[in-house]
Amino acid sequence: MAGATQHDTLWQRITIAVPYLWLLVFFLLPFAIILKISLADPIIAQPPFTPSFDQHGDLAITADNFLFLLTDKLYAVTYLKSVLLAAAATILSLALGFPIAYGIARSSPATRSLLLLLIILPFWISFLLRVYAWMGLLNNHGVINNSLLWLGLIDQPIQMMYTDFAVFIGLTYSYLPFLVLPVYATLERMDEDLVEAALDLGASRTRAFWDITWPLARPGVIAGCLLVFIPAMGEYVIPYLLGGPDALLIGRVLFDEFYVNRDWPLASAVAVMLLLLLVVPIVFLQRSQTRETGAA
């Protein structure tokens, strides 16, 4: 800024320094610590891990935790299951969310704002309580089973609670708004005349959709899918409350490794692995986001 006085540059420095330092101390430094502990051995002491340097000042780190995670079958299954469940929830969210976003974008402005509000509203109600609401529905004596029994469609309750199915539904339910909003944003900006033109030129509705609407909506679809997939991967509450004892998703394994087994180094290594697994989608998301804001 031209002509800044001494006083102003001081203020600018403060504006830069305060949030910068905050993030360095409370965001970056914690990651360094996780990395450091993930390379230590667990011991029975306080804190329960070996220091990075031994008493002679030599570097004393080990890759044992990572080797264990990579070779142990339980962990491989856990990672695979987390990816599969998160991917399945993403696909269902897209199948459900895209038509919703499309319907909202093509309705009259007055209805549109109400429909959007109704998408955002559940997001403001406690996440935990929304997951809890599903416990009442999926229970063996819950609303769904009772209704089906009453209708005579089944004569025994279906076990839905404490299964992967419940986790899958819970993930989709919780993260669906994250997909609808970005998809809606791209569809709303789209020029509907393009579709009209294609139809006038003799394209079928299906053809017009796949050749025009879908490519134009793609940035929103990609962002929306990642916004569902990334948090679903590390989810802890949903598998804990809705899943069975075998619903070992990464987030839950990390929590248990830390609090139940008190193995801090292994828990840290699980965190590092989860982060590595998410680096690619996160970078993708950031790039699509910058392109989005750069274009606007």
Partner 1 sequence: MQKRSLFILSTLAFGYAFLYIPLISVVIYSFNDSNLATIWGGFSTRWYGELFRNDQILDAMFLSLRIAATAATLATVLGTMAGLLLARFGNFRGRTVFSGMITSPLVMPEVITGLSLLLLFVSLKQYFGWPDQRGFGTITIAHTTFAMAYVAVIVRSRLAAMDESLEEAAMDLGGRPFRVVFDITLPLIAPAMIAGWLLAFTLSLDDLVIASFVSGPGASTLPMYIFSKVKLGVTPDINALASIFILIVSTGLLIAWATLRKSRIR
Q: Site residues for partner 1, window 44-103 (CB under 8 A)?
A: 47, 96-97, 99-100, 102-103
- Does 141 bind partner 1 (CB under 8 A)? Our answer is yes
Q: Which residue, 27 or 152, has its beta carbon nearer to partner 1?
A: 27
Determine the distance from the C-alpha atom of residue 187 to the mean position of all C-alpha atoms in its chain, rounded to a whole number: 22
For partner 1, the closer CB: 19 or 215: 19
Residues touching partner 1, count (CB under 8 A): 98
Which residue of 62, 113, 204, 261 would you call a contact of partner 1, by CB under 8 A? 113
Q: How far is the CB of 56 from partner 1 (least distance, A)?
A: 21
CB 232 within 8 A of CB 102: no
- Under the criterion CB under 8 A, does residue 286 sit at the interface with partner 1? yes
Residue of 34, 60, 88, 216 that binds partner 1 (CB under 8 A): 34
Interaction of residue 276 with partner 1, rule CB under 8 A: no
Q: Are 51 and 40 in contact (CB under 8 A)?
A: yes
- Give one DSSP letter per residue of 217-232, joined into a string: HHHHHHHHHHHHHHHH
Question: Which one-letter DSSP state was computed for residue 157?
Answer: -
CB atoms within 10 A of CB 183: 29
Q: Say how far apart CA 237 and CA 235 lie, in whole Å.
A: 6
Alpha-carbon 125 to chain mean position: 18
3-class secondary-structure state, position 218:
helix
Residue 139 Cβ, how far from partner 1 at the closest point, in Å? Answer: 6
Return the residues of window 231-270 that contact partner 1 according to CB under 8 A.
231, 233-237, 240-241, 250-251, 254-255, 258, 264, 267-268
Cα–Cα distance for residue pair 69/200, rounded to 1 Å: 58
Identity (one letter) of the amino acid at 84? Answer: L
180 to 219: interface string for partner 1, x by CB under 8 A? ------------x---x-----------------------
